[in-house]
Structure 1
Amino acid sequence: MKLHKSIVAFFLFSICYTILLSGYAVAHQVTFYVHNKCPFPIWPATAPNTGHPIIADGGFYLPCGETQRIIAPWDWNGRIWARTGCNFASNWQPACETGDCDGRLACNGLIGTPPATLVQVSLQGDKKKPDFYDVSLVDGYNLPVSVTNRQMSTKCTIGGCSKDLKSSCPIELQVVNKNGEVVACKSACLAFNLDSFCCRNEYGTPEKCKPNVYSRMFKDACPSYYSYAFDSPPPLVNCVSKEYVITFCPSSWGSEEHTSSL
């Protein structure tokens, strides 16, 4: 009888401990809802910063109009972007027209090939402290994206672009596919690799590295994004939330770009 009671007690303890661990895990997670409002499929990708785990296998397919739920540790740091024009069934290298990661569907920690619009995330690991995130065009642009919390709070929201950067991209910054279509727009740093555009070496301070004609063009089209390394005031958002929505081609996307991408 004593043995039977011991087994029952151990069983109940195991259940309670499992429930406790489950609750702890849920409490220490953040959910990203990645939504595709583009009129074409995309292949979102993730890459962690050093010391952080890979989430969502590093990449997945997302058809037009669908949403993918991603779970991340509550202290996760990394980047999220979308790849376009992918064909993983072929032996082409790269497999994607923009944002490619060595021809793989699951990037598995690899960083995408620029130019690609980057969502940069720094979760703080304590829901009493705000998370930090921004959208960067420092390496260039391939798609507009918005970021907000699930409640769509104004102070937590990064809006999309008001103009079509691909249709207005200067020829010297254009990335063109095999059909002659502009699929992305490089930053001046990526295109020319000059210290003055990349804000490095003698131009490595905000006082020395100023906006240029290209970064101003990016800023005019996408005012909520980083247009170059020392963009000021920094378009960095901080928000306390356990759920965020990342929307590629949000409703604020320019109608011209919708038309050009069909």
Structure 2
Amino acid sequence: MNHTTSILLGFILSSLLFGFLVQGKNVTFYIRNSCPFLVWPAIAPNVGHPVIADGGFSLPSGDVKRIQAPGTWNGRFWGRTGCDFSSSSSSTCQTGDCQGQLACNGTIGLPPATLVEVSLQEGVDKPSFYDVSLVDGYNLPISVRTRPTDPKCLIRGCNKSVNKVCPQELQVVNKTGDVIACKSACLAFNSDIFCCRGSYKSPQKCKPSVYSKLFKEACPSYFSYAFDAPTPLVSCSPKAFVITFCPSKWSALQYSK
């Protein structure tokens, strides 16, 4: 083997090793649609983090999409419903819309929408943190589990549809009058006492409301308001997550499209 060949072989091996190490630092997300209708998952990174999977895509009922994120990625996932991208309207989804785009490309979705919030860290000694939040409201039930499954790392879906028990003052309805989403009290009333801000910006001052209690009863594993306690935040160190829309085995009639 001559000197040039040796250098070239060394470069190839180094490149392959570097690629393996980089790939090994990725975290996999399996996005599953168990709803009896089409869902358009959306993803938005926090500031300083890259857009993954173009920020959004369509996912037919029963399908699963596999995507990857860097090992230190931070951001959010949510589901959009009732979308029509053939429309010329600036808002093409009934819930969770991101400026009318199929691929949100980092654009934040329009609330109310159930949010999965993720903060990844690399290394088994540095757990990742994640939660499901109704702080801005609800549109779909979502569960989060790890692969392999660990009961300590599971965020379950809801006991019942929030849309079915949503008070009239929080309801978002479609053209036929069906409730398709439920605002949080903060989103609906923009009040410090519900938004946990101003003089209420502490757990001691900001307490559960009749509205957050309704959310909590329906979805015990989710954040029902900003200072929900005990905290529904989960910390685990998996290499893969499964995010499922409509995980519960309810009748299809329990879901609002």
Q: TM-score range by the shorter chain?
A: over 0.9
Cα distance change on mapping 1:192 and 1:136 into 2, 3 Å: same
Alignment of 1:47-62 (within 5 A): 47-62=44-59
2:170 to 173, 193, 201: 173
Could you tell me which residue of structure 1 aligns to residue 126 of structure 2? 129
The CA deviation at 1:162 is 0.5
Helix, strand or coil for the counterpart of 2:97?
coil
Q: Structure 2: which 5+ runs fail to align?
A: none
Could you tell me which residue of structure 2 aligns to residue 98 of structure 1? 95
Could you tell me which residue of structure 2 aligns to residue 220 of structure 1? 217
2:42 to 19, 41, 45: 45
Could you tell me which residue of structure 1 aligns to residue 27 of structure 2? 30
Distance 1:249 1:29 in 2: 26
One-letter code aligned to 1:188: A
The CA deviation at 1:93 is 2.6
Contact 1:149 1:244 in 2 (8 A): yes
TM-score (norm 2): 0.96
Could you tell me which residue of structure 2 aligns to residue 6 of structure 1? 3
Q: Structure 1: which 5+ runs fail to align?
A: none
One-letter code aligned to 1:210: K
Helix, strand or coil for the counterpart of 2:67?
strand
Alignment RMSD (CA, Å) = 1.3
Question: 1:150 aligned to 2:147?
Answer: yes
Contact 2:161 2:254 in 1 (8 A): no
The CA deviation at 1:258 is 4.0
Distance 1:124 1:73 in 2: 9
Could you tell me which residue of structure 2 aligns to residue 234 of structure 1? 231
TM-score (norm 1): 0.95
The CA deviation at 1:202 is 0.5
One-letter code aligned to 1:55: I
1:190-228 alpha-carbon deviations (Å, 9 max, x no partner): 001011000000011111110000000000000000000
Aligned-residue sequence identity (percent) comes to: 60
Distance 1:57 1:82 in 2: 15
The CA deviation at 1:177 is 1.1
Distance 2:249 2:185 in 1: 23
Could you tell me which residue of structure 1 aligns to residue 243 of structure 2? 246
Alignment of 1:178-193 (within 5 A): 178-193=175-190
